[in-house]
Chain A
């Protein structure tokens, strides 16, 4: 059974600005009698909270949030929350991490110059006679609107195909860095794969793969865990709605996600 998921607005956005986010970690500290501290990190004590402030919502958007609140029964039921401030892809700068599934004939090397002056780009070598994929699969709903973005370049003119679930878009690649953005919905059934399809014989420099639950790409955010939070909950049993005019509502939603043992 698919877990419920926090709804998008009609614009395709999950939230409006401002968004407040709090990350709480836990460090156990033992203070000895002579004043020395011994510390131990507790990785299972992590909590993340969001405060989403909505204004000028339409009747339909307000109903969507109200219905979700009712379905979740306030704080009772958990759901999947897609961080609107982050990049849904995990390990976005570590393309050799196990979360990425690379085609068997696709070679990767890191440490290439990236478009922001660093050395975080990767070079993908497809020396085979067929296309080779570099994909990451996420358990997120295919009916939402997503924007996948990535910086690519190649010393020789070629093309690359962006894979966003069941949707694909082929784009030209030039020797200069260029950011590809591909927004789409109706991606198929989860888990959904996101990434690149490299043409036979192509050599690509790649940087900044990003997936966001919205219509347009924002600035690239390097990730570790990624922005998909399964088991999130509403932090309140109360949803206070202010109606300031016809078809004009506002409310605030607090969400919490806690890493458990």
Chain B
């Protein structure tokens, strides 16, 4: 997730996102924030939160 956040340049880049609730593919989405907070609670046990927004013209 960290690598995706960085390679996507935070909220700058766009990507397609598949809604996990209904499988709908939204072709042009962005991250909402330029900040990513990661907490590593233990080995192989990390948590973070991302908000994805759909861009429409």
Contact = CB atoms under 8 A, between A and B. Distances in A.
Contacts of A223: 3
Contact of B10 (A17, A41, A222, A224): A41
B34 A25 contact: yes
A24 B12 contact: no
Contacts of A98: none
Nearest to A84: B40
A225 B6 contact: yes
Nearest to A46: B6
Given A17-B41, A20-B37, A218-B43, A41 B6 contact: no
A218 B2 CA distance: 16
Contact of B34 (A26, A218, A222, A224): A26
A20 B11 CA distance: 21
Nearest to A216: B43
A39 interface: yes
A31 interface: no
A27 interface: yes
A40 interface: yes
Interface of B: 2-3, 5-7, 9-13, 34-44, 46, 57
B12 A41 contact: yes
Contacts of B13: 41
A218 B42 CA distance: 11
A118 interface: no
Interface residues of A, number: 23
Given A18-B39, A20-B37, A21-B38, A219 B44 contact: yes
A233 B19 CA distance: 40
B2 A27 contact: no
A2 to B, nearest CB: 28
A23 B11 contact: no
Contacts of B3: 222-224
Nearest to B14: A39
Given A222-B3, A223-B3, A224-B3, A19 B12 contact: no
B49 to A, nearest CB: 12
A241 to B, nearest CB: 23
A224 B40 CA distance: 20
15 contacts: A17-B43, A18-B40, A19-B40, A20-B38, A20-B39, A20-B40, A21-B39, A22-B35, A22-B36, A23-B35, A24-B34, A39-B12, A41-B9, A43-B9, A224-B3
A85 B2 CA distance: 11
